[in-house]
Structure 1
Amino acid sequence: MTLQVGLSTASVFPESTAHAFSHAAALGYDAVEVMVGMDALSQQTAAVRQLSEHHRVPVCAVHAPCLLWTQRVWGTEPWGKLERSARMAQALGAPVVVVHPPFRWQREYAAGFENGIAALEASTGVHFAVENMYPWRAGARPRSSGMEMYMPHWDVSLGHYAHTTLDLSHAATSRTDVVEMADRMGDRLRHLHLTDGSGGARDEHLVPGRGITGAGPLLRHLATTGFAGSIVVEINTRRCSTVEERVADLAESLAFAREHLAVTTP
């Protein structure tokens, strides 16, 4: 089985969702994950469908607008945002909605989060893959001193979710062994954000292979243990000074993934 590699539209910011589809097609990515965000086009199902059809690149996932800077995208009611994300995924033929656990100040939302996610999956047929986050900490202080900003917990492998997302940059920030986390998730691991981090306090989203998470060994591990989900490159290229530099990072990330996935699978 050949595992497909997609590109998150977040990887081309500050370029647009349209640019993400164009880069994905030109570089040979297999699919695109749409990050619903401040780019108005990313919020419009019909426009995203036109991009997908024009570039002949399918949408493998929709990332719900649950980041700090997308709190007002599609309103402020969290369950309504997830329902709308599911409708977009259904319309685009994407099997997965990626969602973060609630912030600690979203107490009512957090209190019913696990049961609510299960109910949404049952009613929509879409997999809500809940993403691992990290404790917020300052500088080089140890992980134990981190402030818990997510509820019920930043480590979603400890929850009772049917489907999960493993983000390698978040794992680096929480100083988590990614192979161990993947094994804890087991068959629940449905989605991978392929990126990297240095292990510092900042969520960096480095090009895979430029950090300390062990992205290569994890890919080889997944390729030999029957992983059947999506692998999506989600890197930070906003500091690239030219489009050519950004494209080079996207190409390097895809080549990294293909190299480490090129092992015999069961």
Structure 2
Amino acid sequence: MTANPRLARQGDGLQAWRDDARSVSPTAMAPAPISSGGVAGGSGPGGGGSSSLIVPRGAPELATTAPGARVALSTASTYPESTASAFEMAARLGYDGVEIMVWTDPVSQDPQALKRLMDYHGIPILAIHAPCLLLTQRVWGTDPWAKLVRARTVAETLGASTVVVHPPFRWQRDYAREFVTGIERMAGETDIRFAVENMFPLRARGREVSAYAPDWSPVEDDYAHVTLDLSHTSVSRSDPLEMAELLGERLVHVHMADGLGSAKDEHLVPGRGTQPCAELLELLAAGGFDGTVVVEINTRRAESRAQREAELAEALAFTRLHFAAPSAAGLRSTYG
């Protein structure tokens, strides 16, 4: 397996820029929008579709360009509010798009309803998360392959580029046995990318048990496209930076979240846990990552819509700030 040389191009200059940026106190943060491909605020009722950054005042003049990748909001991030609410918040806060978590909300299962929301809010659907969670076992039927076919059809209909899929549960023996070759076969039938997501082992009383087959980690299996979830790396106690380098160009989709290393899948706001969220974003930006970064956080404990939106805004600001690509000229002039 070959590491992506683009992702490996992180020198001392980038590390120095990161250290300098972190030395700036939070009170020095001031609006300094850097537009990339549009005016801050974007189009549509909520102003979605922008790619603006807020950088610390006094930080080195390096964050002058942004990668081609877009920052999307997973509709799972607004649960228990509806899929429609996720579109509204994503557009108003300035996300570039949404990832649809197909679950028990009927709207999430209906491509026509999703198309109406997309058109009304002026914000694209960038990915479809197939219904492969425990609580979605009966959504779109019970045949796992039929679910992936339907997810692909919805993605093609709505213009999404990616279908996110979890590896099979161990008890799905027939599905698990054919999963790697089946995903490869389906990928050859469409331009849609089936991005297999990293999961995690279950831990109890000092023991680890994998609930997934062929494995909870997609790194060693022959998948063309992979999703890297940082809440899941927290649970599995994996190194997401190492995983990103091992995956190379197979890494096309990121679920941005955080965790504290417990056995719980926490999906914290990035920056509130122990995962190297900032470092991964900077690594991807330096390597020219052109996939999609999706904020997938847990806001179920939010006591109000305002608190939920504040957490989603914080996650977006963190992601945009650290996903700024240092310009080559800036690196040369500042760090020799």
Q: TM-score, normalised by structure 2?
A: 0.77
After superposition, where does 1:101-250 map in structure 2 within 5 Å?
Answer: 101-138=167-204, 141=206, 145-250=207-312
Which stretches in structure 1 are left out of the alignment for 5+ residues?
A: none
1:64 to 123, 130, 153: 130
The aligned residue for residue 99 of structure 2 is 33
Residue 91 of structure 2 aligns to a residue whose secondary structure is: helix
Residue 203 of structure 2 aligns to a residue whose secondary structure is: coil
CA contact (8 A) 2:78 2:85 kept: yes
Distance in structure 1 (CA, Å) of the matches to 2:68 and 2:153: 28
Distance in structure 1 (CA, Å) of the matches to 2:197 and 2:68: 24
| RMSD across aligned positions (CA) | 1.0
CA displacement 1:36-93 (0-9 Å, x = unmatched): 0011100000000110111010011000000000000000000000000000000000
The aligned residue for residue 77 of structure 1 is 143
Distance in structure 1 (CA, Å) of the matches to 2:137 and 2:327: 40
Q: Does 1:46 align with 2:80?
A: no
Distance in structure 2 (CA, Å) of the matches to 1:190 and 1:197: 21
CA displacement 1:93-128 (0-9 Å, x = unmatched): 001000000000001000000110011111122100
CA shift, 1:265, in A, is 5.8
Distance in structure 1 (CA, Å) of the matches to 2:139 and 2:82: 16
Aligned residues: 262
CA contact (8 A) 1:226 1:265 kept: no
The aligned residue for residue 100 of structure 1 is 166
CA shift, 1:220, in A, is 0.4
Larger radius of gyration: 2
Q: TM-score, normalised by structure 1?
A: 0.97
1:252 to 309, 314, 319: 314
Which stretches in structure 2 are left out of the alignment for 5+ residues?
A: 1-66, 329-336
Percent of aligned pairs with the same amino acid:
54
Residue type of the alignment partner of 2:151: S
* Higher-helix-fraction structure: 1
Higher relative contact order by CA 8 Å / sep ≥ 6: 1 or 2?
Answer: 2
Distance in structure 1 (CA, Å) of the matches to 2:160 and 2:182: 20
After superposition, where does 1:4-19 map in structure 2 within 5 Å?
Answer: 4-19=70-85
